[in-house]
Chain A
Amino acid sequence: MNDLSNLSAASLPLALTAHRRAQDFQRRHSVPAVQKRVYLNTLAAYAGATYLERRGYDIDWSASYSHDPAQQMLLDVADVMVSGVGRLECRPVLPGASAIAIPAAVSSDRIAYLAIYLDASLRQATLLGFTATRPVPTGDVTSIPLSDLQSPEMLGSFLAQQATEAMPVRLSRWLQQTVETGWQAVADTVAELTAPSPTFAWRSGAAAETGGTDAADSSPQPVPQVGQSKSIVLGTGAAAVTVTLLVGLLPQGPDELEIWVQLSPAVGQTRLPTALRLAILDAADVAVMQAEARDTEAIQLKFVAAIAEQFSVQVVLGDRTYTERFEV
Chain B
Amino acid sequence: MDLELTPLLHQAQQATPANRAAALAAIVAVLMRSQRLGRPGPEAPDNPVYQALRDRLQQQMLVAATAAVEQYQGDHGAVSEWSTVVQATALQAALTDDQLKQLALEAQRHPARSPQRQHALTQLIEAIRRSGRLAHPHRSKFTPAFYDLLYEEALNQTLTYVCRKIENYDPERGTAQKFMNWVNFRLDRQILDCRREFNEQETQELPNLNDLEAIAAPSPETPSLAHTVRDYIATDPDDQFRTTHIRHHPEASFQAIALARFGERSWEDIAQEYAIKVPTLSSFFQRCCDKFAPQFQRLL
Residues of A within 8 A of B (CB): 3, 5-6, 8-10, 12-17, 19-20, 26-32, 34-36, 39-40, 50, 53-57, 65, 68-71, 73-75, 94-95, 104-109, 118, 120-123, 136-140, 153-154, 156-157, 159-160, 163, 254-256, 306-308
Mask of B123-141 contacts with A, CB within 8 angstroms, 1/0: 1011001000000000000
Residues of B within 8 A of A26 (CB): 215, 219
Known: A8-B36, A69-B225, A140-B268. 4 other contacts (CB 8 A): A36-B213, A68-B293, A122-B208, A123-B208
Q: Indicate if the CB atoms of B34 and A36 lie closer than 8 Å.
A: no
Number of A-B contacts (CB under 8 A): 209
Residues of B within 8 A of A (CB): 1, 34-37, 41-43, 87, 112-115, 117-119, 121-123, 125-126, 129, 149-150, 152-153, 155-157, 159-160, 163-164, 194, 197-198, 203, 206-210, 212-213, 215-216, 218-219, 221-226, 229, 240, 243-244, 247, 258, 261, 266-268, 278-279, 281-287, 289-291, 293, 296-297, 299-300
Query: In whole angstroms, how far apart are the Cα atoms of A20 and B282 in the complex?
Result: 31
Q: Indicate if the CB atoms of B149 and A15 lie closer than 8 Å.
A: yes
Q: Indicate if the CB atoms of A53 and B1 lie closer than 8 Å.
A: no
Our pick among B218, B278, B287 for the contact of A255 (Cβ within 8 Å) is B287
Query: What is the CB-to-nearest-CB distance from A56 to chain B, in angstroms, rounded to a whole number?
Result: 4
Q: Indicate if the CB atoms of B153 and A17 lie closer than 8 Å.
A: yes
Q: Indicate if the CB atoms of B290 and A54 lie closer than 8 Å.
A: no
Residues of B within 8 A of A139 (CB): 266-268, 278
Q: Indicate if the CB atoms of A6 and B36 lie closer than 8 Å.
A: yes
Q: Indicate if the CB atoms of A73 and B247 lie closer than 8 Å.
A: no
Interface residues of B, dominant DSSP: helix
Query: What is the CB-to-nearest-CB distance from A50 to chain B, in angstroms, rounded to a whole number?
Result: 6
Residues of A within 8 A of B114 (CB): 160
Query: In whole angstroms, how far apart are the Cα atoms of A15 and B113 in the complex?
Result: 25
Q: Indicate if the CB atoms of A75 and B34 lie closer than 8 Å.
A: no
Query: In whole angstroms, how far apart are the Cα atoms of A20 and B150 in the complex?
Result: 13
Our pick among B198, B225, B244 for the contact of A30 (Cβ within 8 Å) is B225
Residues of B within 8 A of A154 (CB): 42
Q: Indicate if the CB atoms of A5 and B279 lie closer than 8 Å.
A: no
Query: What is the CB-to-nearest-CB distance from B21 to chain A, in angstroms, rounded to a whole number?
Result: 25
Residues of B within 8 A of A163 (CB): 113
Residues of B within 8 A of A15 (CB): 149, 152-153, 156, 206
Q: Indicate if the CB atoms of A56 and B36 lie closer than 8 Å.
A: no
Residues of B within 8 A of A107 (CB): 279, 282-283, 286
Query: In whole angstroms, how far apart are the Cα atoms of A46 and B117 in the complex?
Result: 22
